[in-house]
A = this chain, B = another copy of it.
Amino acid sequence: MSTASGRQRVARAVLTYLAEPGDPVLTGLLTACQPADIVAAVEAGHPPAVPTGWWATVRADGRPRGSDRRHAARLEHSFGAWRSRLGRVPPEPDLAGFHRDGVRLVCPGEPEWPTQLDVLGVARPYALWLRGEADLRYCCLRSVSVVGARAATAYGAHVGTNMAAALAERGWAVVSGGAYGIDGCAHRGALAADGVTIAVLACGVDVAYPRGHRDLLAGMAAQGVLVSEWPPGRTPTRRRFLIRNRVIGALSRGTVVVEAGVRSGALNTARHARDLGRPLMAVPGPVTSEVSAGCHKIMREWGAVCVTGAADVIEMLSPLGERASGQPGALPGGGARDGGARGSPWAGAAAGGDPLLARDALDALSADVLRAVPARGAGPATIAAAAGLGVDAVVRSLGLLAAGGYVERCSRGWRVRPAAR
């Protein structure tokens, strides 16, 4: 990493301390200035000069309106607020120290950055704080968000857990919000199936929230990855949950609502997924159950697709499913990968870089492991011996390759997926 990009990286880390994610003034400034220049301006105590008309870019919808004088006052106000938080930023060596504690920072443009977040435009996170063994970008290539009410019923818990486990068994990473109820069931189901699961949190990745999920969060860090836009130590607020939801919607290929009342926060996530053009799905339930009412509402009013299990979800999200539903452009054979991006909800992300990494974009270790996986399948030890690598590294790599759609589980262990041969 060059010193210049290192500077911008530290600046992005600092910005996560200064402003809330999605702050319209900061997101606007980031379209015009380098992060390090913004931090330097905050430290110097005076906002950078912005060109006339720049305020129109601050929000995608053209807001805020008002006079230039009012805008200047607003910029001053934001800078004042950010400056007042400078004292909360740990010194630079401490930022490196987080890394020793298993916490890492990922910035736009870096290898682990999930490019599909770029569909959020100016509302894209400044950076992401991560904790956990899994590679975020790989995992998200074949990921689905499974969300729902905190006040889940036994029915919802049963369906959510089984669906997540079945998705994980078929190589899909399960994204959710780490909350009680359906979120927890989704994470637990994926973990129980030895799958990868991603928790997008509204607090620092080192914060055990909710308390009762301390062990679950630790389990996810060991087998998946915890993600947050907020720096370590931050606690969640109601507003942060809502801001966070757009990342759950954007990170995965599609979103499933398992159970949700008509006023559930899960519908906020669903709305983001819908607005981003990502496939939105809902699990039906008894019409007599209040926590299924939100699912039925989005089926009827938002066009959410009725899904009854993992097979329905995978059909909705696979390129084959897209072709079956009348999407042109997805060609049999080699065209499948393009077909997944072109004309698909994933296309917005593709504009910022193909989210389905090409085989030659694999890192050296993954490429070595993939070459060692026989078509008929083999166990990790056999693959490790063939690749001349340690079993632990191979096991981790296989999980990433599965998330990327290259390999799948079989009775012998792991094999190359037919589509990836």
A residues at B contact (CB < 8 Å): 155, 158-159, 283-288, 292-293, 295-296, 299-300, 305-309, 312
Contact = CB atoms under 8 A, between A and B. Distances in A.
Pairs A-B, 4 closest by C-beta atoms: A284-B284, A287-B308, A299-B306, A300-B306
Nearest to A298: B306
A376 to B, nearest CB: 35
Contacts of A309: 287
Contacts of A308: 287, 293, 296
Given A299-B299, A300-B312, A312-B300, A306 B286 contact: no
Given A158-B288, A287-B309, A299-B306, 7 more contacts: A159-B287, A283-B287, A284-B286, A284-B287, A284-B299, A284-B306, A296-B308
Contacts of A283: 287
Nearest to A315: B300
A115 to B, nearest CB: 30
A401 B420 CA distance: 66
Residue among A158, A284, A285, A309 with max Cβ neighbours from chain B (10 Å): A284
Contact of A286 (B286, B293, B299, B305): B286
9 contacts: A155-B288, A284-B284, A284-B295, A284-B306, A293-B308, A296-B308, A299-B306, A300-B305, A300-B307
Nearest to A155: B286
A421 B295 CA distance: 38
A9 to B, nearest CB: 45
A286 B309 CA distance: 11
A155 B288 CA distance: 9
A227 to B, nearest CB: 29
Contacts of A285: 284-287
A211 to B, nearest CB: 31
A320 to B, nearest CB: 16
Nearest to A292: B284
Contacts of A300: 305-307, 312
Contacts of A287: 159, 283-285, 308-309
A300 B279 CA distance: 13
A305 B283 CA distance: 14
Nearest to A312: B300
A282 to B, nearest CB: 9
Contacts of A159: 287-288
A288 B288 CA distance: 15
Residue among A286, A287, A300, A305 with max Cβ neighbours from chain B (10 Å): A287
A187 B159 CA distance: 33
A82 to B, nearest CB: 46
Nearest to A309: B287
A286 to B, nearest CB: 6
A276 B170 CA distance: 40
A359 B300 CA distance: 34
A283 B296 CA distance: 9
Nearest to A307: B300
Contacts of A296: 284, 306, 308
A118 to B, nearest CB: 31
A286 B307 CA distance: 11
A159 to B, nearest CB: 6
Contacts of A307: 300
Residue among A285, A293, A308 with max Cβ neighbours from chain B (10 Å): A308
A271 B308 CA distance: 21
A182 to B, nearest CB: 14
A367 to B, nearest CB: 39
Contacts of A305: 300
A299 B299 CA distance: 9
A152 to B, nearest CB: 14
Contacts of A312: 300
A265 B166 CA distance: 31
A59 to B, nearest CB: 29
A299 to B, nearest CB: 4
